[in-house]
Each structure stands twice: as C-alpha cells, then as structure tokens.
Chains A and B, each alone.
Chain A
Amino acid sequence: MSKVLFSSISKKFVMALAGLFLLTFLPVHLIINLMLLKSEPGPFNTAAHFMATFPLIKIMEVVLFGAILLHISWGILLQIQNWIARPVGYVSGNKSEVSFFSRFMIWTGATILTFLILHWFNFYFIKLGIVKGNAEDFYSVAHKLFKIPAYDFIYLTCFAFLGFHLFHAFYSAFQTIGLNHRLWNPVVKPIALVYAIIIPAGFAFISITLWLFR
C-alpha cells in the first residue's frame, strides 16, 4: 500500500488537491483584505477576529496548514526526485516549446514560501503570541506595513511570482486530477489566466492604494 501512496501519481494527486484547496483560500483572503480599503478599521478587524475564533474556521485553519505543509513538502520531495532523474543536463539547453512558467514552479513556489514566512511574522505569529503586537488590530498593522516602500516592493514582487505560479498551477491541477477533455480543455487555460491575474492584481491593488493614496 505504501508503494501506492507514495507512487509518483499519488504524490502528484496530493499536490494537486492541496493546491486546489489553496486556490479556494486565496479569494477568501482577498475579500477580507479588500476591507483594508475602508477608512475605519472596524469591518476588517471584525472579519479578522471572526477568522481567528470561529470554530469551523479554526478547523479549516488546520486543514489549510496541513495543505500548505503537504504542498510544500511534497513539492520539494518531487523536485528532488526530478533532479535525481536527470543527473547530467544538456549543454545545449532545453528549447522545447513549453508554457514558460511551468519550468520554474519550484522557484516561484520558493519565493511565495519566503513571503509566507514574512507574512506569518507580521500577522499570524502575533496572533499566536510568538511575536509581540496587537492581534486585535491587524488593520493598523497592515496600514503601517504598506506605508513602508521596501515592504510594498517585496509584496508586489511576491504577488507577481504568485501569479506566475498560479497560472501553471491552475491548469496543472486539473490535468493531474484527470480532468482533461477535448471539449472543455481549451477553456481551462483562459480561466487559469484570468484567475492568475485577478487574484494577485487584487492584492497588489490594495497594497498600492494603501501605500500611495492613504
């Protein structure tokens, strides 16, 4: 059974499912973040509080972290196996026509992970009490952070990478769970493109607005 659980396809399947779950989390996070645009901190902080305390969400939080952990660890494991599978590379490079971003998933993923750690330091760890700060007023924390140009710069860069990651991830997850059909396969890539633009653009919009116009 372990052979089956750890087969290349099973690992990919886990990667894809975890990834798909993360795909559903991002819009939720974006919607909450949009409340940062409001001039009073109330709605955002209420939402943040709700997310931090509501029991169902607390359960989902465990699932979310499980998904993140699986996605990252399996991603790294698969990548190491892939490197082992080609011990000697090509001198003349690889010029095959492939979707550009699909080549760099481990690197775009690693960038996102770096951001995630930063993000946890800024918010999540405050909530957990690991880092000092006011867990009940993330609105102010966010507003302060976005006023730091260097932070905005890192933030925007990372979300660009998130977009690159999502573009391939969206299509790839569908392929991996076996949903590739000649009828609607042509639709998946455009949807992936729209998703990969709207989500990072939404986050970026908030960041730029708070930085330059508030």
Chain B
Amino acid sequence: MKLTLKIWRQKNAGAKGNFETYKMDNVSTKMAFLEMLDALNKKLVEENKDPVAFDHDCREGICGSCGMYINGHPHGPVPAITTCSLSMRYFKDGDTIWIEPWRAKPFPVIKDLIVDRRAFDKIQIAGGFISVNTGAAPEANSILIQKNKSDDAFDAAICIGCGACVAACKNASAMLFVSAKISQFALLPQGRVEAKDRVRAMVEKMDEVGFGNCSNTGACEAECPKEIKLVNIARLFREYYKAF
C-alpha cells in the first residue's frame, strides 16, 4: 500500500513543533504499525535525516510504553489494543494517517511523539502501595479473599499506565488511571487498612500535577487498551467520600 503520514515533529520540549508529511510506499498489510514507523525511520536515517522519536519497548501490548494519537484515537482506531499491537491491515491504500503525541498539560512533549508521563508515577508514589515490609507478610492463605472480589481487583489491576485514558479524555483527566489502582487495593482486604490515606493522597497528587476533571463522558473507557471500566471511577468516588 501507499500511505501519507502526517507526523508531529518537535525537536525538544522547548521547541515549537509542526506536522511533517511523509510518503510511504510498499507498506505491507502484515506489518505492525510501529514496524511501519521503523521502516520510515530506516529510510530517514539513510537519507541523513532525523528519525521520528517514539516510545516503545515490549511490542506486545503489556509494558505501556507506546502511545500515539492516530487519526483521532489514542492507540489508533481499533479498540482494546495498544499502538504496538495495531496491524497495518486496518488501513487502506492511499490513506492519510495523522500521528500525534498524547496531549495533556501534565504530559509535556519531550521529543516528537514522546511525552513525559512521570505525572503517573508521582500519583502512584503518593499512595499506590500497601505498606508491608519485606519479610513481614503473613502466610499467603491466612487471609481469604472472595473469588469475585479478587477477580474484580485483577480486572482493575491490569492497567498498563499508558496514558490513553488521559489522551482520549476531552478534559485530559486521569480519573480512570487513578481509579484502577484505588479499586485494586480497595477490593482486597490487604489494601483496606490504609484505604483512606491512599485515596486522599492519590487524588490530591492527581489534582496537583494538573490533570483535568472527569465529566463522565466515557472516552477513557472506550479507548482503554485493557478495557478498564467506568465502575472503577464510581468506586474511586465512593472511596473518596468514605475517606472523610
């Protein structure tokens, strides 16, 4: 296939960016989206031009490194996958593809399509843990947990921290991300002990780093590559009210 790529190029955090147009010939439908960009970068380097910088690592949809805003969708138009799992067979010959970085004040662009997502780490550092020292844990089966609760905790815990929820949200809100972690711990007896402190600390940090407010539009849920549900946000709200 032949494709036209419109890619956001920005030399560094301070630079002014712009869209560059690249023509790609011979794109195979068997390629992954990032492999198509690899091919572009190979071409650019061979022409002594600066290749497009983007975050990526595991390339199997679990590390959460990759993230591009493709044709109006975080991670592209196919639901429930990350950018690295996006296949080129979803595009047609002659397509124009817009590729943009995540846009949010707490996610400033570092270079091209790479953004700084440390705001997520800051929220986790504020309280996304259970305070237990190594060696202090009780025997694993000494605390029984209902299977459905444990399963729900797992469904929240599979968040990969990619930031697609923030990228999709018209308000750049991180509510889905925060609620996933809060939910995981809130559903487990181990996490209940410090549940109040946790939710207060994490929400305070979330506001402090500058994410927007949730207006329950559900874009995050629609775009989450791991299909984290909005019920988690409602649980976050409940946990927050309970904390006072």
Q: Do chains A and B touch in the complex (CB under 8 A)?
A: yes
Q: Judge whether A28 is part of the interface by a CB distance below 8 angstroms.
A: no
Pairwise interchain contact B212-A103, C-beta atoms closer than 8 A? no
Q: Is A9 an interface residue (CB 8 A)?
A: yes
User: How many whole Å from A214's CB to the nearest CB in chain B?
Assistant: 41
Is A31 engaged at the interface, CB distance under 8 Å to the other chain? no
User: Which residue, of A168, A176, A178, has the highest number of chain B Cβ atoms within 10 A?
Assistant: A178
Task: Select one of A4, A8, A93, A179 contacting B213, CB under 8 A.
Answer: A8
Interface stretch (choices B85-93, B103-111, B129-137): B103-111
Determine if A102 and B231 form an interchain contact, defined as CB atoms under 8 angstroms apart. no
**Which residue from chain B places its CB closest to the CB of A173 in the assembled complex?**
B216
Q: A82-B170, A94-B170 are in contact. Are A11 and B222 (CB under 8 A)?
A: no
The reply to whether A82 and B244 form a contact with Cβ atoms under 8 Å apart is no
In this assembly, does B219 line the interface, its C-beta being within 8 Å of a C-beta of chain A? yes
Chain A residues whose C-beta falls within 8 Å of the C-beta of B217 in the assembled complex: 98-99, 102-103, 168
**Are A105 and B215 within 8 A (Cβ)?**
yes
Contact check, B98 vs A91: say whether CB atoms are below 8 A apart.
yes
* Residues on B with beta carbons closer than 8 Å to the beta carbon of A103: 170, 217
Q: What are the interface flags for B212-243 relative to A under an 8 Å C-beta threshold, 1 for contact and 0 otherwise?
A: 11111111001100000011011111101100
Find out whether the CB atom of A82 lies under 8 angstroms from the CB atom of B100: no
B62: chain A residues within 8 A (beta carbon): none
Query: A5 → chain B, closest Cβ, in Å?
Result: 10
B94 contacts partner chain A, Cβ-Cβ < 8 Å = no
B234/A180 in contact, CB under 8 A = yes
B215 near A82 with CB under 8 A, answer yes
Closest residue of chain A to B217 (Cβ to Cβ) is: A102
Q: With A and B bound together, what is the CA distance between A92 and B19 in angstroms?
A: 11
Q: State the main secondary structure of chain B at its contact with A.
A: mixed
Candidates A89, A93, A96, A175; contact of B216 at CB < 8 Å: A175
Which of B37-45, B49-57, B67-75, B139-147 is near enough to bind chain A?
B67-75
Known: A92-B71, A99-B217, A175-B230. A85 touches B172 (CB 8 A): yes
Q: Contact string, B131-167, partner A, CB cutoff 8 A, digits 1/0?
A: 0000000000000000000000000000000000000
Which of the 9-residue segments B28-36, B120-128, B187-195, B199-207 touches chain A?
B199-207
**For the complex, is A13 an interface residue (Cβ under 8 Å from B)?**
yes
Starting from the known contacts A78-B213, A177-B237, 19 additional A-B residue pairs (CB-CB under 8 Å) come to A3-B204, A7-B240, A8-B203, A9-B203, A12-B214, A12-B237, A84-B212, A86-B171, A90-B103, A92-B69, A92-B98, A94-B168, A95-B71, A102-B218, A103-B170, A103-B217, A177-B241, A180-B230, A182-B231
Closest 3 pairs between A and B when the two form their complex, measured CB to CB: A180-B234, A85-B212, A95-B72
A-B contact pairs, 30 of them (CB 8 A): A3-B207, A7-B240, A8-B203, A8-B213, A9-B236, A9-B237, A11-B213, A13-B241, A85-B104, A85-B105, A85-B172, A86-B104, A86-B105, A86-B170, A91-B100, A92-B70, A92-B72, A94-B72, A94-B170, A95-B77, A97-B222, A98-B219, A98-B222, A172-B215, A175-B230, A176-B237, A177-B237, A177-B241, A178-B235, A180-B230
